[in-house]
Amino acid sequence: MTPLRTALQKEAADNIELGEALFGMLQRKAEAKLAVIAPAQQEDVVEFWRAVMDIQIVQSTLLRERFRLSVVNSYPLDGFSRR
């Protein structure tokens, strides 16, 4: 593997890890805020926001996996360009 290709793969992996860490932090912050406001809200409202958060988790997982696949597929396995 060339040094440039190795560096690009490491940078992509680092970016993925940073994004996952930021998303995890934001998710925990949203859950904490929901826990604070939940007692003052009707159960339907709380369930709605929990469902929205679950949908966002699924969407982020799908987006992360698509990005990982695009990074993996952008590097030819045999070391030659695909053009």
The Cα diameter of the chain in Å comes to: 61
Contact 71, 14 (CB under 8 A): no
CA–CA distance, 29 with 8 (Å, rounded to integer): 32
Q: Is residue 57 part of a domain?
A: yes
Q: Is residue 18 part of a domain?
A: yes
| Overall domain count for the chain | 1
Task: Please name the residue that has the structure tokens 């912050």.
Answer: 29
Q: Is residue 82 part of a domain?
A: no
Q: Is residue 56 part of a domain?
A: yes
Q: Is residue 62 part of a domain?
A: yes
Report if pTM > 0.85.
no
Q: Is residue 83 part of a domain?
A: no
**Range of 29's domain?**
3-73
Tens digits of residue pLDDT in 29-65: 888 888 887 788 888 888 888 888 888 888 888 887 8
